[in-house]
Chains A and B, each alone.
Chain A
């Protein structure tokens, strides 16, 4: 498997972030300082289940949404 020393560029909540190659969703949350609870994550328009946070690795060009509940009607 080819490794990419340049890392990956992923769009997180509309902002482009450069991340180390092989970054997992769990590592991304840690790097952002985001909690593991009270949030949910989608990667390329698919929900990443909580149980997959440690195993799903981000790839170049990924679109990631990290969301929470807010006030609304």
Chain B
């Protein structure tokens, strides 16, 4: 069995999906089912004091099938991320946290310094920390050394759907990491997912690629298959590329219309 281990948690699916941007909760739930994912992300926000009684995202997630991965999205400082993580742990009853500390509102690139500081504090507090981070092998190694359970480098900006823009740095990160590498952000369609998995990364986290598809449920199924296909292709080991053709059929004993 090709199991993915993150900290003390084991997964058969290598696809982690989000809960954002779906046209409806019904579509989201059907997409979650079709994706085969075993873990979904949620964000943490203040309740609306003018309407505090409404349903929350937790009402729409089947927690008998799906593990929660709360995030600290929207935080711009280690301090805010740490408080958000503690609230998330209390709310979601999990020590898993997707640590996200943003450094720039336009690119949504992470702030490495604040991410490292928050990771250190949260690990000391017993969290299983999965940091969203840039594709920097040095920072990824530093996060590993702090005790993160995985690193989650971006393949392209969050929500951009640009695909894997940095295959070489992702490969370098994976080659040097002793913890799982999860590509988080950038995957726009099934081929992107397969390409990412063929690089050898351990899993993918995606939200918009599924939620913003015209048919989210069908795309969720496509992503599920692409992650499996990419993983199998990586494990199988691809053929070497060559510049010239190399016939697949024998070149001996060819039929001749001229009798030659």
> B204-228, CB under 8 A of A: which get 1 and which 0?
0111100100000000000000000
Contacts of A70 in B (CB 8 A): 42-45, 56-57
Measured CB to CB, the nearest residue on chain B to A49 is B90
Instruction: Determine if A73 and B20 form an interchain contact, defined as CB atoms under 8 angstroms apart.
Output: yes
Instruction: Determine if B83 and A42 form an interchain contact, defined as CB atoms under 8 angstroms apart.
Output: yes
Q: Which of A33, A39, A42 has the most CB of B within 10 A?
A: A39
- In the complex, which residues 6-23 of chain B have their Cβ closer than 8 Å to any Cβ of chain A? 18-22
How many pairs of residues, A versus B, come closer than 8 Å at their CB atoms? Answer: 114
Contact residues of B: prevailing secondary structure: mixed
- Chain B contributes a number of interface residues (CB within 8 A of A) equal to 42
- In the complex, which residues 84-126 of chain B have their Cβ closer than 8 Å to any Cβ of chain A? 84, 86-92
Asked if B238 is at the interface of the complex by the 8 Å CB criterion, the answer is no
Which among B46-54, B142-150, B173-181, B246-254 touches the partner chain? B46-54
Given contacts A47-B89, A72-B18, 10 further A-B contacts (CB under 8 A): A47-B86, A67-B46, A68-B44, A68-B47, A68-B91, A69-B57, A69-B58, A71-B20, A72-B19, A72-B207
Q: Which residue numbers of A lie inside 8 Å of B, CB to CB? A: 12-15, 32-35, 38-42, 45-47, 49-50, 65-73
19 residue pairs A–B, Cβ–Cβ below 8 Å: A34-B49, A38-B58, A39-B47, A45-B79, A47-B87, A65-B83, A67-B46, A68-B47, A68-B56, A69-B56, A70-B43, A70-B44, A71-B19, A71-B57, A73-B43, A73-B71, A73-B159, A73-B205, A73-B207
